[in-house]
A and B are shown apart, each in its own frame.
Chain A
């Protein structure tokens, strides 16, 4: 994926939700309030998700950035906080 400078929250949400949907859960089940546990997502999935973000916005993330995340919304907020 080529990198972009579009960091509008709805764009980031779309990229993130698409990335999570590729990992197994139904796209319709992915909401801000859904927990990673409900979606059967684990720490390896968070690393994969972080890689998608890194490539999309050409930034570097620390796996620790997502170590406390328990919901999709928290993951999204963690990403938004690290985008320029």
Chain B
């Protein structure tokens, strides 16, 4: 039996480049950065603009960011005037790396400083990693399958892949998916710094010889996926099609990627096979590109291993150069950006790429946005988005637009 096709009918993003998916792609394509003072903060996001006072009080920032992005995606897809499918036929699967860590830290401080009786009754429902999909279900009354995916910096991509599978299999007709993260807290930032993962100079320069770690950021990216025929029947806007998904594990080290890029390459190969796309048919690679010495070298190896000769022709760029690393929201925001980039037929640039690393020899799009080729305007453009998590968890998503 042919599996059902999955299309993207709405996207939303809250990122250090601003509130809005269009703002994200336009500003990134223009080479603008949202990184300030060594981190990617969503300074333009006011939770009260979307959430009620009660919702704000009862949610961690990670959930607030998720709701902000969801609202935008639903508005675009025309869901706010009424759900387009029966409520139980709509699911929600969101990724996060660490969920409500800001709440955990605040409540732990309260416990230590003021004692047990001062700890909030809202602590658990705010800090749990499934708070955001739960809040979205309540807010929009969607009663289909609902859970969170936790796989560090690959969580957003794993969530979207899992969500697409639910639509393909017929378990749901539509699904809210993506990821959210709010890790700009004392413990999270210090802990990443202590393990040597974050940049000392505060510059995100993926694939550049000067790269010395990632720049931590916060945000959320949301995609609404619908079964293609149902979406066509209701006249939904179709931004892209989800063609495939692949996931593997390195089974190698707590944090370091397997140095040959075998696990990453296998995820990319699986994804292309799932999509029915040949390496030579790929127009764009949205890299994980963290700006850490190890990731960018091994990811380059993996792209070569999976794509062969085509690796040298396909443009590869990293959104993290413009907004930093949003951990569990990273893959989700990058999927949103990939969908919109393909729709505009451009490969946005890798910012801050100035000193090539002799070992890293792909086309990282250092010189402004690149027009994506395609044989003609009628041909759709195909891209992949890579995400790799501490723990050796690899996920790749393949989408087509145009």
| Min CB–CB distance A49 → chain B (angstroms) | 10
> CB-nearest residue of chain A relative to B120?
A48
User: Across the interface, which residues of A come within 8 angstroms of B54, CB to CB?
Assistant: 23-25, 40
Residue A3 interfacial (CB < 8 Å):
no
User: Across the interface, which residues of B come within 8 angstroms of A22, CB to CB?
Assistant: 57
The docked-state distance in angstroms from the alpha carbon of A74 to that of B52 is 26
| Min CB–CB distance A5 → chain B (angstroms) | 19
> CB-nearest residue of chain A relative to B117?
A54
Residue B118 interfacial (CB < 8 Å):
yes
| Min CB–CB distance A47 → chain B (angstroms) | 4
Give the size of the chain B interface in residues (CB under 8 angstroms). 11
Number of A-B contacts (CB under 8 A): 24
User: Across the interface, which residues of B come within 8 angstroms of A54, CB to CB?
Assistant: 117
Assess the A24–B120 pair: CB atoms within 8 A: no
Q: With A22-B57, A23-B57 in contact, is A48–B121 under 8 Å at CB?
A: yes
Residue A44 interfacial (CB < 8 Å):
yes
1/0 per residue, CB under 8 A from B, across A30-44: the answer is 000000000010001
Assess the A48–B117 pair: CB atoms within 8 A: no
CB proximity to A under 8 Å, residues B41-74: 52-54, 57-58
What is the interface residue range for chain A against chain B?
10 to 19
User: Across the interface, which residues of A come within 8 angstroms of B120, CB to CB?
Assistant: 48, 51
Assess the B122–A48 pair: CB atoms within 8 A: yes
CB proximity to B under 8 Å, residues A5-46: 22-25, 40, 44
Assess the B122–A24 pair: CB atoms within 8 A: no
| Min CB–CB distance A3 → chain B (angstroms) | 12
Assess the B118–A24 pair: CB atoms within 8 A: no
Q: Of B57, B117, B121, B125, which one neighbours A24 at CB under 8 angstroms?
A: B57
1/0 per residue, CB under 8 A from A, across B120-132: the answer is 1110010000000
B residues contacting A by CB (< 8 A) are: 52-54, 57-58, 117-118, 120-122, 125
17 more CB-based (< 8 A) A-B contacts, given A23-B54, A44-B58, A60-B117: A22-B57, A24-B52, A24-B53, A24-B54, A24-B57, A25-B54, A44-B122, A44-B125, A47-B121, A48-B120, A48-B121, A48-B122, A51-B117, A51-B118, A51-B120, A51-B121, A55-B118
**Selected A-B contacts with CB under 8 Å, 23 pairs:** A22-B57, A23-B54, A23-B57, A24-B52, A24-B53, A24-B54, A24-B57, A25-B54, A40-B54, A44-B58, A44-B121, A44-B122, A44-B125, A47-B121, A48-B121, A48-B122, A51-B117, A51-B118, A51-B120, A51-B121, A54-B117, A55-B118, A60-B117
A residues contacting B by CB (< 8 A) are: 22-25, 40, 44, 47-48, 51, 54-55, 60
